[in-house]
Amino acid sequence: MPEISDHRARILASIRVSLNKGMSPAQAEANIAAECANLDRKYVRTGTRATAGHDGLLELLTDRLLEYDAGVYRAAPEGIAAAVGEILAGRGKRGLAIPAGVPAEWLPQGYEFTLAEGFDAYQLDATEGVLTGCSVAIAETGSIVLQNAAAQGARILSLVPDYHLCVVFAGQIVEEVPEAFARLKATSTLPTTFISGPSATADIEMTRIKGVHGPRFLDVLLVV
C-alpha cells in the first residue's frame, strides 16, 4: 500500500506537537463536533424575493445570465419543445447531444438528438452542442448547477461541446448560494459543476473575456 507512508505519521505528529494536543481521540471528536456546530453563521441563509412570487427571482437570474453574455429564453411547461426548436433554429443548429433521462417532451420534431452516454471527448467534440437540465439555479450569482443525474449526465457532456442549452424549471431556482447548498446536500458526493455563464478568462488585463476552453455559447431556457 504505497499511500501509507511514514510521511503520514510525521505530518500528523508535527501537527499534534504544534497544537499541543493532549485529548484522547474519542473525547476530542465529540468536542470538535460541538465546536463546529457553535461557529458563527449569521450570514443570509434565505433570500427575500421568492416570498413576493417567483417573478423577482426570474428577473434577477435573467439579469445575471445576460450580464455573463448567456442567452435567456422563457417557455411554459407545455411549450418546451417548441422553444428548444426556436432556439436551435436561431442558432442554426440541426441537432444536439443529450444525456440519458431527457424527457421526450423537451425535444422538437425535425432536429436530431443523439443520446451521448459513453461518448468520448472526440465524439462530443464533433457534436453541435448539448441539451441538459440542471439540479438547481442560483439567481443572485447567475449560476446553474449540474450533477451526475438524469437529464444532466457526466461532466464531460456540458464541457466539450461548444454550445450548451440548459433547461431550468422555475421550481429549481433559489435566490441565495446557501439555499442551493441546502438542496444539494443530499447528493453532495456526486460530481457537481457550478456554471456561471459561458467559459471566460480574466487573465489578460483583468477583463472578462468570453470563450476559452469550456462552451463558448450558453443558452438558458426558463420554464415558468
Partner 1 sequence: MTATETHASQWHTRDFPEAARDLLQDSQTRKNVQHATNVIQGKRNKVVAELPDWEELRESGAQVKAHVLRHLDHYLTQFEENCTRAGGHVHWAADAAEANRIILGLVQQHEAKEVIKIKTMTSEEIGLNRELEAHGIRPIETDLAELIIQMGKDRPSHFVAPALHVNRAQVRAMFQREMHLPELGEEPEDLATAARIYLREKYLRIKVAISGGNFLIADTGGLCIVESEGNGRMCLTLPDVLISLVGIEKVIPSFEDLEIFLQTLPRSATGERMNPYNSTWCGVHPGDGPKEFHVVLLDNGRSPILADREARQTLQCIRCAACLNACPVYHQTGGHAYESVYAGPIGAILTPQLHSMEEGRSLPYASSLCGACYQVCPVKINIPEVLIHLRGKVVQEDQATLMGKFSLWNIGMQAAAFLFKDASRLAMAERIGRVGQKALVSKNGFIEWMPLMLSGWTQTRDLKAMPEQSFRDWWAKEKAPGAKPADRSDHA
Specify the stretch interacting with partner 1 by CB under 8 A; choose among 83-91, 105-113, 154-162, 165-173.
154-162
Residues 6+ apart with CB under 8 A from 204: none
Q: What are the grid coordinates assigned to 156, written together?
A: 464531460
Output 84 or 128, the one with its CB closest to partner 1.
Answer: 128
The residue within the footprint of partner 1, chosen from 116, 198, 222, 223 (CB under 8 A), is: 198
Output 174 or 221, the one with its CB closest to partner 1.
Answer: 174
User: CB–CB of 136/180 below 8 Å?
Assistant: yes
42 binds partner 1 (CB under 8 A): yes
User: x/- contact string, 65-94, with partner 1 (CB under 8 A)?
Assistant: ---x--------------------------
159 binds partner 1 (CB under 8 A): yes
How many residues line the site for partner 1 (CB under 8 A)? 79
Q: Given the C-alpha cell 450533477, which residue does it identify? A: 147
Q: Least distance (Å) from partner 1 to the CB of residue 215?
A: 8
34 binds partner 1 (CB under 8 A): no
118 binds partner 1 (CB under 8 A): yes
The residue within the footprint of partner 1, chosen from 58, 107, 180, 223 (CB under 8 A), is: 180
161 binds partner 1 (CB under 8 A): no
Strands 192-195 and 143-147: antiparallel
Say which DSSP state 117 is in. Answer: T
Cα distances (Å, whole numbers) of residue 54 to 26, 139, 170, 205, 209: 48, 11, 7, 38, 32
Q: Given the C-alpha cell 506537537, which residue does it identify? A: 17
Say which DSSP state 142 is in. Answer: T
